[in-house]
Amino acid sequence: LEYKNGSFVRGSTRGDGETGEDVTANLLTIKSIPKTINFLGELEVRGEVYMPKASLEECNKKNELEGKPLFANCRNAAAGSIRNLDSSIAASRKLDIFLYYFVNADEFGITKHSESLEFIEKLGFRTNKERRLCSGIEEVIKYIDEYAAKRPSLDYDIDGIVIKVDD
């Protein structure tokens, strides 16, 4: 997501790693993405659009009634929805987003990942509250075990847990 002087100006996919697709119109349908933020200058944040489990269930019920193919999983449904040329389709699928990376954080003296997440939260971006700052591998392993137990109760699918070094 790219912002200039507080206004959302463009959203794109990661594409092939160098060139992404402009999906601004579809991202504008996601209610948790702020259209304006209290920030002057240029800012870029990255994250992942996802489809909540309830939205997948609702879409698949509708597709079944209409004789259309069912989505295999939330991840494929979200990826296809965000790249769809018709933004009304993306809007109907009730997508959401977690932001997890403040690209130009170092320009603001932010050196720790946890601080960058706190900063973008204050600007109004949605981050995943399930994160935890751990001190050492033992705490990381404990967190992974706790999260594995609660995984089925999450309202979204996950492939696993990402571990990042804070500094």
**Each residue of 14-41: pLDDT tens digit?**
888 888 899 999 999 999 999 999 999 9
Per residue in 54-77, pLDDT (tens digit) is 999 999 999 999 999 999 888 888
Structure tokens at 50: 């996802």
- Whole-angstrom Cα distance, residue 122 to residue 20? 27
Per residue in 89-122, pLDDT (tens digit) is 889 899 999 999 999 999 999 999 999 999 999 9
- Whole-angstrom Cα distance, residue 129 to residue 120? 13
Per 3-state DSSP, the chain is made up of helix, strand and coil in percentages (nearest 5) of 40, 15, 45
Structure tokens at 35: 């259209």
